[in-house]
Chains A and B, each alone.
Chain A
Amino acid sequence: MSEHVIQRMKDLPSTHLLGSGTPMCAGCGGLGALHEIYDLLGTRTVFVNAAGCMTLLSVYPFTPFRGSWLYTAMASAPAGAQGVRDALDILLEHKRIPPEDDLSTVVLTGDGAAYGMGLSATSGAIERGLDFLYLCYDNEGYGNTGQQFSGATPHAARTSTSAGARGYSGEKKDLFSIWTAHRPVYAATVIGAEPLDLAKKIEKAKRLTGPRLVLALAPCPTGWDFDPQQTVEIGRLAVRTGIWPLKEYLDGKVVHTRVPHPRQPVEDYLKTQGRFRHLFEPARNEALLGEIQARVDAYWANVE
């Protein structure tokens, strides 16, 4: 793909490479992010996919990919990527493939894997300086198996394993900080609903070598309980309310690529989704709403 630099919405790719006809839900925010990213990465890629919703993308004999794809166990995608990278390097070294046949290695994984059982494999891969792009689509739960809570589930959300008036009692892990504590070459948060910000980051990641990690919030109509047509609007609200900060890490520094100003109240985001309905019905849970807002405020107080 080209050296052309994306600066405006108009510069975004107008050819869409990821095949239609996948079994993802109508309005899947994770698929939205993946298709935008695939348009930029192109076909000279090997996707190494940990078990999750996205493994259903390629069910024999169907695949939306135009390059390679490989399935691994839930915890093992970074290890799979290491194997693929090593194999390519050996082929290159022995001149069994010409340099132009080299491929880039991309891990594709859900949050259940990325925040939980795949974390140690990811840590090891960053530690070894593996040259790969790691992409986590974060739908904040184990979507493929019916939205049980994961390490990425936000405080107070209802999941199929956190019912009741207070929802999930745990806290969403700060995976971005866990990653950057490893000092990778690059890390970023993105969202499909902000395609320009996403494209600039993917372009940047593409030009670098070494471990590059991207975390995409993935609004999930099925697991979060909203009408599929709201996927993009909910994504934009996640950014405007400050609950999903868009940022990147490069050369040891974190830079926020979007500082929402003024920040909308976080409940504008929460009330769009059935998984937070118990915070508003039958009566407003002021204590929990206040707690969630205070956490967002505290985050931005450190940034601004």
Chain B
Amino acid sequence: MYRIRFHGRGGQGMKTASRILGSAFFREGYEVQDAPRYGAERRGAPIFAYVRAAQRPIHERGGIAQPDLVVVADETLTPIPAAGVLAGVSARTVLLINSAESEDAWKARLNYAGRIVRLPGGGETRERAETATIGAICAGAAARLVGRISREALALAVDDEIAALGREAAEKSRERALAAFDALDFAEGCVMEGEAHDARGYAAPEWVELAAEAALAAAPDIRAVATSVEVRTGLWRTLRPVIDYDHCKGCSWVCSTLCPDSAIQVDAEGAPRIDYDHCKGCLVCVAVCPPHAIRALPEKDVQQAQEATA
């Protein structure tokens, strides 16, 4: 059975990627499961989607703990523990990553034993409007790496899954998925099917026994205020709004009111200050700033520049 896990951010089309790959496998006669993981987090947050494909009925359920292929649509997820990109990988797990950096650089950085393949054109700065096609690209690339899916089945699967988004989107997605498929001919079939897991060998997790508590103590009351600030939603951001204070007119009631996330506070001098620990990178502030004093920079570049000066 093939077990494939997609990692991306909400809005990058990971659910679509899993559906395209699932449909393509299905068209090739496989039994298929594809599903995103349902979670509380939204657009910008780490998202998981899973595909299982086998030539027998699939009895496994739930998330994929030991993947044969891990697809990372957004390289900025790799250092985020909650994204769990490397969870359960082994030397036989292939890692497909969307990055401008080389396979060797990633092998060293992640101390990765298995094979790493870079997504063709990986890491190119794309317009955010196009991020939705990353899912189709990932699906096309994954299809080639498993080596069981024909170009035709892939094209039809993209059409199956994207048709509702309009002709232009469907064409663009199909074109990109096929280009990724073609570009990875050198790695065709490098993903090996994992063994069937047998319920008989199942080892129960090491449960921790929790004694029943009185309802008053056990009810989940939060007694502190605004604890949400402990959650660093700044990690969701791929683009960073940066205020050019030379052009800022100090009308902070505009940007600080319209930032949906209370991530722009006003300092004692009345100047706006962006809280990068929490700013999700929606770029509403960039769009509403009257003198266009806020620019959007790729988060990755800003972080690299900061590392270089540190």
B-contacting residues of A (Cβ < 8 Å)?
Answer: 9-10, 12, 14-29, 31-32, 35-36, 43, 56-67, 158, 163, 192-193, 195, 221-222, 227-233, 274, 277-278, 281-282
Contacts and interface: CB of A to CB of B under 8 A. Distances in A.
Contact of B278 (A20, A61, A62, A233): A20
A87 to B, nearest CB: 16
Interface string B215-259: 000001010011111111100110000000000000111101111
B227 A62 contact: yes
B43 A20 contact: no
Contacts of B254: 9
B275 A26 contact: no
Contacts of A227: 128-129, 283
A43 B226 CA distance: 11
B286 interface: yes
The interface centre, meaning the residue of B40, B42, B129, B258 with most chain A CB atoms within 10 A of its CB, is B42
Contact of A23 (B41, B167, B168, B226): B41
Given A27-B282, A278-B166, A16 B226 contact: no
Interface in B256-281: 256-266, 270, 275, 277-278, 280-281
Contact of A24 (B168, B227, B229, B260): B260
Contacts of A277: 165-166
26 contacts: A9-B254, A15-B266, A18-B262, A20-B261, A20-B278, A21-B233, A23-B233, A24-B42, A26-B43, A26-B236, A26-B281, A27-B284, A31-B261, A32-B258, A36-B257, A60-B222, A62-B230, A62-B231, A67-B225, A158-B164, A192-B260, A221-B282, A222-B10, A222-B11, A228-B11, A277-B165
B284 A21 contact: no
Contact of A281 (B11, B41, B167): B167
A214 B277 CA distance: 32
B248 to A, nearest CB: 15
A128 B247 CA distance: 54
B135 interface: no
A157 to B, nearest CB: 13
**Top 3 A-B pairs, shortest CB-CB distance:** A19-B226, A20-B278, A27-B282
* Interface SS, A side: loop
A32 B260 contact: yes
Nearest to A231: B284
Contact of B226 (A25, A64, A232): A64
Nearest to B258: A232
A63 B228 contact: yes
Contacts of A22: 228, 231, 233, 261
Given A20-B277, A20-B278, A26-B11, 19 more contacts: A10-B253, A14-B253, A14-B256, A16-B256, A16-B265, A18-B226, A23-B231, A25-B43, A26-B282, A27-B43, A27-B282, A63-B225, A63-B228, A64-B228, A67-B225, A192-B260, A195-B257, A227-B129, A229-B282
A44 to B, nearest CB: 12
A233 B287 contact: yes
The interface centre, meaning the residue of B230, B282, B286 with most chain A CB atoms within 10 A of its CB, is B282
A26 B228 contact: no
Contacts of A58: 222
Contacts of A16: 256, 262, 264-265
A141 to B, nearest CB: 15
Interface in B1-26: 10-11
A66 B226 contact: yes
A232 B288 contact: yes
B44 interface: yes
A34 to B, nearest CB: 9
A240 to B, nearest CB: 15
A192 to B, nearest CB: 7
Contact of A21 (B10, B232, B265): B232
Given A20-B278, A26-B236, A231-B282, A193 B258 contact: yes
Nearest to A164: B164
B137 interface: no
Given A9-B254, A62-B228, A19 B42 contact: no
Contact of A20 (B10, B11, B229): B229
B262 A26 contact: no
Contacts of A195: 253, 257-258
Contact of A63 (B226, B258, B283): B226
Nearest to B164: A163
B280 A14 contact: no
Contacts of B275: 20
A14 B262 CA distance: 10
Contacts of A193: 258
A299 to B, nearest CB: 27
Nearest to A225: B165
Nearest to B267: A14
B45 interface: yes
Contacts of B237: 26
A44 B31 CA distance: 56
A17 B261 CA distance: 10
Contacts of A231: 260, 282, 284
Contacts of B222: 58, 60-63
